[in-house]
Structure 1
Amino acid sequence: MDKKKLSPEEKMKHKIQSDAAKKIKAKTEKDDIMFGLGVFGIVGWSIAIPTLMGVAAGAYLDNRFPTGFSWTLTLLFAGILAGCFNAWHWVKEKSGEE
């Protein structure tokens, strides 16, 4: 489209349409980025919290009831597995809503 042959009204109309399209695209991309950051945070915390709880419970059990194996390591892995399951379940649920 040659802008030199357009009337001032047509130039203004083209400019407004272009600006509106840019704003819509920017809003959509911003929402996608914010959703991605939110998912990243939720997944991280849903794994970190059970892992730290497992370590704390394991350290308590190791100090309170000495045994031949480490409760801390056992519950660390249990916390990681529980956290990964929580994260997987949450992501699966959210992706189903989209």
Structure 2
Amino acid sequence: MKIPPSRQSRSQTHLNAKAIANQARRKLYARQAKPCGVLFGLGFVGLVGWSVVVPTLLGMALGIWLDFQFPSRFSWTLALMLAGLTIGCLIAWEWVSQEQQRMARDQPPDDSPNQEERD
């Protein structure tokens, strides 16, 4: 249930105004920042996907070669495929973490969730 504006306290109105101003400031900052639309997002998803696929396929290829060269009860293909998948996931995790850090660095100044508490 929403309280009518006439009954809201001044501090609540002040916080609402600050939140709206903060949102408007962020939109203006985003418009001035370098463009990163749908194509950027698709490219990043593709990059992350390939960073997982390539090590997995390399591990699988090496495993198949080892299985043909040195036959045994142990499946090198499966073991190296899982190792490649693990390495690929770690690489993707690192890239995503770096991108999140870059995005956090590029945020407008004084933009934190605790801003209302400081003012």
Aligned residues: 73
Aligned counterpart in structure 2 of residue 88 of structure 1, from 89, 93, 112: 93
Partners of 1:72 and 1:82 in 2: CA distance: 15
Query: Any unmatched runs of 5+ in structure 1?
Result: 1-23
The equivalent of 2:57 in structure 1 is: 52
Query: Any unmatched runs of 5+ in structure 2?
Result: 1-29, 104-119
**Shift of residue 34, structure 1, vs aligned partner:** 2.1
TM (norm. structure 2) is 0.56
* Structure with more of its chain in helix, by fraction: 1
SS in 2 for 1:31: coil
Amino acid at match of 1:85: L
TM (norm. structure 1) is 0.67
Partners of 2:102 and 2:79 in 1: CA distance: 35
Query: Does residue 66 of the first structure (1) align with residue 71 of the second (2)?
Result: yes
Amino acid at match of 1:96: Q
**Shift of residue 95, structure 1, vs aligned partner:** 1.1
Larger radius of gyration: 1
Aligned counterpart in structure 2 of residue 97 of structure 1, from 75, 99, 102: 102
**Shift of residue 77, structure 1, vs aligned partner:** 0.5
Percent identity over paired residues: 45
| Cα-to-partner distance string for 1:56-98 (whole Å, 9 max, x where unaligned) | 0000000001111100000010011000000000010111011
